[in-house]
Structure 1
Amino acid sequence: MVSLLCLVALLFPLSATSSAGFDVQPFRVDLGHEVAHMKALVQNTRLPDKPLYPEASIEFGMELDVLRDLQTKWLNDYDWAKQEATLNELPQFTVTIEGQSVHFVHAKSEEPDAIPMLLLHGWSGSFQEFLPVVKPLTQSWTSPNGTRISFDVIVPSLPGFIFSSPPPQNWTNADTARIFNKLMVNVLGYSTYSLHGTDWGSSVGYILYSTFNTTVRAAHFNLLPFIAPDPQSLNITLTDIEKVTVQRSLDFRATGLAYNMEQAFKPNTIGLALYDNPIGQLSWIGSNILLCKVRPPALGPRPRCSPTRPSLTMVSLYTLTHTFQSSVWIYEQNPNGFSADYVKPATDAPMGYSLFEYELQFTPRDYVEKVAGKLVSYKEHDFGGHFAGLDNPPALVEDLRELGLYFGS
């Protein structure tokens, strides 16, 4: 019988090889031995019989009925083995760079002139949030003018996240950018590449875009590492989608940053409290995912929604790899990760930006242009939000393909 690893190799040739003294090792997700313990913790977690305050909605944190429903689904419907098999459909590797073990997906296109694309996640995401877009990006696409575009896709796990080792305490996103540039150039052999970043991945990505300007020759973001401007100070006409995101940004700035403050100032407190507590992690992470999917009250009725199946995989990965604590330290390590200074970067590389209606941060086109070497696309989408790779994969793929038309220009 052909092994799963062989099947993966047929679909996506094992492309990462040892290079320039770096020892690249094939990697497979193999966490089945941890599942029984996780399931026992989920089953034995006692939740209240009824809400303390029934009228308290998601603005006050995770709702009891949502959490109880997810607990039941986690126990009765969720199949980790199936999710693990899905994760292993893509070729994965590890390599040590500057003493850090870096885990990454490397899926190559069959096209010889494919564009290298580095996809960068944030918290509470992981490499898993980009799985829906990896295969489509490796496939050849022909633009209306006849240009063929495809990508070699690289998706690393940030240091301290999932399968990448925890970094030193004084590690910053600038350090992550440096070793990821080494991954692309020195390990994988790409002289130039493109990237996409979201959340903390946008911080790492923007450092790469503005600092490593000879190797990063195109960048795309659906969130930028800049503090959102005060809408009252803007002298611009907003589009309908911008009106939604500006209200969401105001609401989030007013009431949604409690988790951020805790993780920025007391990462060990929350990290240890939830270290071996999957339901606690689900409540902590899931409440933020809920906020990513709720329409602001000022804009009309809000749909009730709960974290989707991918969020159970998201939390399972943190629980099974015991990396929740190390992941939240990124907030303490990067107090200036988001800047208030909209300054033109020292690069002429093209930039694309996608505004998804349910994003938590508002950055109008005029402000995106301030921090772009050359803004070549600004797209609006009325479906999707902070986790665009999970929420609206076709739109993200389409926008990244359009960016590919400008690669190297």
Structure 2
Amino acid sequence: MSEYYVCTGCALLCDDIEVEIENSKIKTVHAACRKGVARMKGCSDPLECTVDGEKTDVDSAITKAAEILREAENPLIFGHGNSSSEAQKLSIGLAKKTGAYLDDTSSFCQGPVIEAILQEKLRTCTLDDIRHKADVIIFWGADPSNSHPRHLSRYSYFPRGKERQRGWEEDRTAICVDVRKSETAVICGANRFYQIPMGGDEEFMDALVSALSSKVPKTSFGFDAKRILELANVLKKAKFGVICVGLGLIYSLEDLEPLFRLIDKLNEVSEFSLMPMVGQYNMRGFNQNLYEETGFINRVKFNSETGEAKHGPEFSVVESLREKSVDAALIIGSDPLSSLPLSVSRYLADIPLITIDPCRNLTSSKAEVTIPCAFGGVEYGGTAVRMDGVEVKLKKILDTENLPDAEILRKITEAI
């Protein structure tokens, strides 16, 4: 019998992956999407272990990293989305010990939705619920055809679920709301694509709430009221609906109140849940682990003496770098120099910087200490949390000389 593995290419954590190994390397990957294949085949440019640009051994790099964090008054620890839950918990412990700022990418993406779900302010479901029950799926500001290539085929639109045996042909309706005609919008079809102007999400939501209340909807951008009423009728008839929330929607809203209003109204007339379209394979895990420890999902600053966590926007990676309130940084499995605006991230190059990552990137090129780690779900196992909050076990596929990031973090913590 074939052995199946979990793909850590995104937060779907598909668990039906088969691999062929040749000369201690993965030669072929079966069932994974293009992102998963790239992830499982590893780095094209592996990171080397260095201190001050010179190659060194792992123990020396860990000793130097511990020295930097020990001497810093306000270190920053950032990343975590591509780490196992075990590593994340050790990172939280390290942040407590060093009085660090602690944050992850949810600070500027899916964080508000995940926080509302954990606080039980928004109704959610599992991916398996979607596959087996969902008859109406809305992709709002999301393009899973590119961001999560197996989402439509494995969970949301095309599969034949227990209660959706006739699949997409008769049993499912897919709807796309976006500012552009994405590949997902093309799949949904012209009649099910609702193109709105940039920043028009709140207004469209309120118009839809009016339509769900049997009122004639209005929008300042002149959207056809008849089409909104038709959409409302489709949503009212849903037996199990879900809104897949993408970054396009989150970035458009100043806060989640319009989304709360829409979901509350939908659940008065039908049954709808929300699914955050999380990108990195274990970002949801970090949010849950930190929430269980502190009551917050991100943007915290620890007191090294009491272990107390303070929370606020001033403790986010963006604000802490913009205000230059941190004096050293440990970056784990992330590349903020590439993803954050230069006006914010350039400060990283001016402070002692440590990078733990399997691959070389722009941030590692500026780091005083670089420590290569094993690939999660490929070169070490552990646990992770899918975008829907379901915990998944990861299995090791290949051996490597690199330590898992959890082991590196444990050694740094012990050395401080």
Q: Normalising by structure 2, what TM-score? A: 0.27
* TM-score with structure 1 setting the length: 0.28
Higher relative contact order (CA 8 A, sep 6+): 2
| Structure having the higher Rg | 2
